[in-house]
């Protein structure tokens, strides 16, 4: 499997994440912990009470203005690959949904914040298909599409047949179709697909 985030919460995020200029509430958001909790959730590991509290209380408070957020312009993902531009927001959305479902239960325990994130991400994915004509399940670009795979694997968007879409998107990646016909950072592929190989 790909490199996992440390269970201790040790920071592996680029220094530009801490030093960036963001909104007043976002400035106090601990993105390091968000990556840690999302990765533990994806791996099926037990979350600590502190992790659950972070997901239930801290993230919704710090990111209350969602979807109007002032996020870092670039980060380095703990798995070692860089993320920049709009993809930063997609990775944040996806991490929130994966962590939220694990900590709060199916459909996020009725949390208005996480349901808002879910609807926003679902709309963006649907727009890519219906407005731009992209394959079902993909997002706007390579990075954002790979970020969505863990969300689909977790079944964290109620409006989709997530299992079917996950298989379809991973098939595109493995068979190097759509935008995946071009070279992709192998660290990002390893993180998104785990032990599955790319043909």
163 within domain boundaries: yes
What's the domain count of the chain? 1
> 181 is written with which tokens?
């016909």
pLDDT beyond 60 at 22: no
Across 9-23, 84-98, 147-161, least confident range? 9-23
**Cα–Cα distance measured from residue 25 to residue 27, given in angstroms and rounded to the nearest whole number:** 5
pLDDT band with cut points at 50, 70 and 90 for residue 78: confident
- pTM confidence score: 0.84
- What is the average per-residue pLDDT within 169-186? 93
8 within domain boundaries: no
Identify the pLDDT of residue 90.
96
29 within domain boundaries: yes
DSSP structure class, residue 60: H
2 within domain boundaries: no
5 within domain boundaries: no
φ, ψ dihedrals at 43, nearest 5°: -80, -10
81 within domain boundaries: yes
Structural domain for 100, as ranges: 15-193
Closest CA to 93 of 7, 190, 101: 101
**Which helix H or strand E contains 105, and what residues bound it?**
none
pLDDT tens for each residue of 181-194: 999 999 999 999 98
- What is the average per-residue pLDDT within 118-147? 94
3 within domain boundaries: no
Q: What is the CA radius of gyration of the chain?
A: 16
**Cα–Cα distance measured from residue 7 to residue 166, given in angstroms and rounded to the nearest whole number:** 26
28 within domain boundaries: yes
């Amino acid at each position: 499997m790909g490199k996992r985030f440390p269970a201790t919460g040790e920071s592996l995020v680029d220094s530009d994440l801490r030093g960036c200029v963001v909104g007043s509430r976002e400035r106090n958001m601990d993105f390091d912990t968000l990556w840690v909790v999302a990765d533990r959730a994806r791996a099926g590991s037990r979350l600590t009470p502190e992790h659950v509290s972070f997901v239930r209380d801290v993230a919704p408070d710090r990111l209350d203005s969602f979807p109007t957020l002032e996020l870092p312009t670039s980060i380095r993902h703990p798995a070692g690959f860089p993320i920049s531009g709009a993809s930063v927001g997609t990775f944040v959305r996806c991490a929130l949904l994966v962590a939220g479902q694990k900590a709060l239960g199916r459909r996020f325990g009725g949390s208005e914040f996480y349901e808002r994130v879910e609807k926003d991400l679902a709309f963006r994915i649907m727009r890519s298909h219906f407005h731009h004509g992209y394959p079902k399940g993909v997002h706007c670009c390579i990075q954002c599409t790979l970020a969505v795979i863990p969300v689909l694997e977790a079944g964290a968007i109620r409006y989709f047949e997530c299992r079917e879409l996950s298989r379809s998107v991973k098939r595109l990646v493995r068979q190097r179709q759509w935008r995946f016909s071009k070279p992709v950072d192998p660290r990002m592929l390893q993180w998104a697909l785990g032990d599955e190989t790319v043909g």
